[in-house]
Structure 1
């Protein structure tokens, strides 16, 4: 393939735990004609392109993905399965790719639990009020509706998330505390360009 053809190809975005089609959690910088979104989810009801757990991406070729977006997925895995999932993220990314990950910040949630606010709504989501209880164990309304895969089985602080990504082999990792009791992380590969950090700076704030 010529350099011109390679430059013209859409970048491959693996959107893991994508949820229903039209899910608006995909950051603007990962949308548009420059990207080809590949939707992956464990729930066939949301009609993903690939039905799979994020801990087993064997149907995705090595070094075939330019970016991974993972929003509130890793906490649904048992702690022992997290290294396997992150190793899979690393395996499928190209040498200049990156993973953008967001998930609950246990440290921020723990402050509310210590203040005896376990059941106090902190914010309104499209699914209803969200409490520390939901952030810690999974959204209770979704679990009550039978979506048992939505239970939370592990959790992270900024330190443990960064450490886990580095242990998976990522070249550089930056983790930031978000504004909604969440963490945001970018994990880069050895040839990831410096422009990526500028591109994602607004998302990470």
Structure 2
């Protein structure tokens, strides 16, 4: 069935998660909790070339109805925002969630990267990705080869520790916020927060 906002609200037997900043369709990028048959992915991306279900900007998701989704999944989007834009995006995540729904957010862990920088390891690779070796400088400011090719969407404009990510979610009314630091070799944070079940 083609995607429509009506299909989200009427098919109650299926849980819907909004995959924001999804990039090209890739089932390997979906976290295991959303891979069951009870979950259905709706992809939102600012780039129409990746053929999302919804073309939109996470800072102002005009095409997405309020209280329509059971979950919002955001993987490595927030670091591409300027600091003053982060609350706008998180407030949009909150707005589109059903009462009791949750957001799952992952982004780089700047605290662990800062330790590498403090030790003088700014340019040495800390892990290998499908796009090649990744250094602390890439994690701080964006993947340099992508930026060199003109993909300025890959630039990073802000960063988070576990504490600041938790606070950012709490500041836009998420409750039961939990943040996990995964450390090496992942260098990332995973945060979950819920929309209040009665609001």
- Scaled by the length of structure 1, what TM-score is found? 0.87
Query: 5+ residue gaps in structure 1?
Result: 1-5, 193-205
Give aligned pairs, total.
187
C-alpha deviations, 1:141-184, integer Å up to 9, x for none?
11112211110011111111000100011122001101311101
Partner of 1:197: none
Pairing partner for 2:117 from 113, 129, 137: 113
Q: TM-score, normalised by structure 2?
A: 0.90
RMSD: 1.5
Correspondence for 1:166: 170
Deviations 1:102-159 (A, max 9, x none): 0001100000000110100011111111110110001111111221111001111111
Distance 1:63 1:127 in 2: 36
1:187 aligned to which of 183, 190, 193: 193
C-alpha separation in 2, matches of 1:63 and 1:76: 25
Contact 2:56–2:62, Cα closer than 8 Å, also in 1 = no
Residue 6 (structure 2) aligns with: none
Query: 1:56 and 1:85 mapped to 2: Cα distance?
Result: 7
- Mapped to 1, the partners of 2:77 and 2:63 lie a distance apart of 19
Deviation at residue 50 of structure 1 after TM alignment: 1.2
1:37 corresponds, among 34, 41, 46, to 41
Q: CA deviation at 1:20?
A: 1.2
1:58-95 deviation digits (Å, cap 9, x = unpaired)? 21111001001100000000110000110000100000
Equivalent positions of 1:24-173 (< 5 A) are 24-173=28-177
Change (3 A) 1:23 1:17: farther
**Cα distance in 2, alignment partners of residues 70 and 8 from structure 1:** 23
